[in-house]
Amino acid sequence: MSSNPFALHVSLRSLSALVLSLLITGCTSLPSAPDEDEKPVIVLDSRPDPLSDAFKIAGVASPPVNEPGVVKTITDLPQTETEKPPALPENDLWQRIRQGFSIDHEIDRRRVRQEIDWFRKHPDYIDRVTARASKHLYYIVGELEKNNLPLEFALLPIVESAYDPFAYSHGRASGLWQFIPSTARLYGLKIDWWYDGRRDVKDSTQAAIDYLQKLHALLNDDWLLALAAYNSGQGNVGHSIRRNQQAGKPVDFWSIKVPKETQSYVPRLLAISEIIAFPEKYGIELKKIANSPYWIEVDIVSQLDLAKAAELANLTSKQLYELNPGYNQWSTHPMGPHRLLLPPPLW
C-alpha cells in the first residue's frame, strides 16, 4: 500500500460509519442532465441538471459549477486501488489507438470520401467530441484491447452519440453506445427508477463489446456487417444477406441492402478512423489526450447521497454527474452498483 499523502487509507469500520451516516431515507425523482444541440442526428434531453436540485433536496448548499477538469485531491472516500499505476511508454492515446486499428478504412469508396470531407470541413466538431471523449477514451481503449476488438470501435461513440453519455434519440436509444431498452436489458444493463446502465460508462461499454462480438460471430466474422447490424438490427442485415445469397450476389456490406441511415453510419466510422490515423493528411490538428486514466473507480459499499459525495470528493455536482451519468436520482442505487467514478489523486 502506498504511503503517498494523496492515497486514501480508510478502515472498513470508519467507512461503514461514513456510509451509514449518508444512507438515503427518501426518494425524489430527478430528470437527466442538460444536453447540447450541436450533434447531427442525435436528439438529446433538454432537462435541467439533476444534482443542482439534489443539493436543495438534501439541504446542502450547492457549490458553484465550474468547468470540468481533473481534481487534484480526493479525501474521505475509499478508492479500490491506491498503488501508483505503472508508467506508460507513450503518453499519446491517439498513437495507441492508431496502433490498434485493424479494419480497412476503404477510402476509395465514395460514401467514405463524402464523410471524410464532412469531417475536414468541421474541425470544430472534432474538437468538441475530442474534449468529451477525453474523459472516457482511455478506459474504452483498454477494454477493447482486453477483448481483442479493433480500436476503430473506440471511435464508435463519436458516430453514435458524439461521445455524450446523456445523448437520447427519437428511438429511445441512450448513452455513449446508444442502446435501446430491450437490447440493453438483453446484454445485462439495469434500467430502473434509480439507475440507467445505458448511461453508465463502464456497464454500457462492456455491453457494447459483448454485442459487437456476438454480431461478428453471427455475421461471417465481418466487422462491417457487425457494425451495420449494430445500427439497424441483426434481423435486417441477416435478411439482406439471405436475399443476396439466393440471388447469387455478394454478401459484403457494400453489396447488401441496408437502411439509408446505415448506409452513412458505417462509412462515417471508417472516415473518422481514417482521419484519426492520418490527421496531418487531412489538415486536422487533434487535441492531445493523455494515455493515462481520467478517473478511477471508488467502492462506496452502500447507497450514498450524491451531493454529499461531491462535497467529500471536492467536486462540483456537475463534475460528479459527468463521470457518473448512470444515476437518475439524488443518490446511488440502494441495490448497487455501489461505486463512483472519481478523478485520481496526484501521485
Residue with the three cell numbers 481520467 = 294
- The pLDDT tens digits along the chain (347 residues) read 433 333 333 333 333 334 333 333 333 333 333 333 333 333 333 333 333 333 232 333 333 333 333 333 334 444 444 344 444 445 899 999 999 999 999 999 999 999 999 999 999 999 999 999 999 999 999 999 999 999 999 999 999 999 999 999 999 999 999 999 999 999 999 999 999 999 999 999 999 999 999 999 999 999 999 999 999 999 999 999 999 999 999 999 999 999 999 999 999 999 999 999 999 999 999 999 999 999 999 999 999 999 999 999 999 999 999 999 999 999 999 998 999 999 998 54
| Contact (Cβ atoms closer than 8 angstroms) between residue 232 and residue 263 | no
Nearest partner of 126 among 286, 264, 337, 280, judged by Cα: 286
Burial 293-308 (b: 16+ CB within 10 A, else e): ebbbbbebbbbbbbbb
Nearest partner of 33 among 54, 13, 47, judged by Cα: 47
**pLDDT at position 145:** 98
| Contact (Cβ atoms closer than 8 angstroms) between residue 63 and residue 335 | no
Q: How many CA atoms lie within 13 A of 45 on its CB side?
A: 20
Q: How many CA atoms lie within 13 A of 95 on its CB side?
A: 9
Q: Pick 93-282's CATH classification: 1.10.530, 2.60.40, 1.10.10, 1.10.3210.
A: 1.10.530
Nearest partner of 204 among 235, 180, 232, 169, judged by Cα: 180
Q: Any bridge partners for residue 179, and if so which?
A: 174
| Contact (Cβ atoms closer than 8 angstroms) between residue 265 and residue 231 | yes
Output Rg (C-alpha) for the chain, integer angstroms.
21
Angle at 173 (CA atoms; ends 127, 116), nearest 5 degrees: 35
Catalytic center residues: 160
**pLDDT at position 346:** 54
Q: Is-above-0.85 flag for pTM?
A: no
Measured between alpha carbons, how far is 283 from 288 in angstroms, rounded to an integer? 16
| Contact (Cβ atoms closer than 8 angstroms) between residue 201 and residue 325 | yes
Angle at 14 (CA atoms; ends 11, 19), nearest 5 degrees: 120
Quick one: cell of 331? 443518490
Tell me which DSSP letter residue 297 carries: E
Domain boundaries, the chain: 1-85+294-347, 93-282
Question: Exposed/middle/buried for 83, CB within 10 Å: 0-12, 13-18, 19+?
Answer: exposed
**pLDDT at position 6:** 31
Measured between alpha carbons, how far is 314 from 263 in angstroms, rounded to an integer? 46
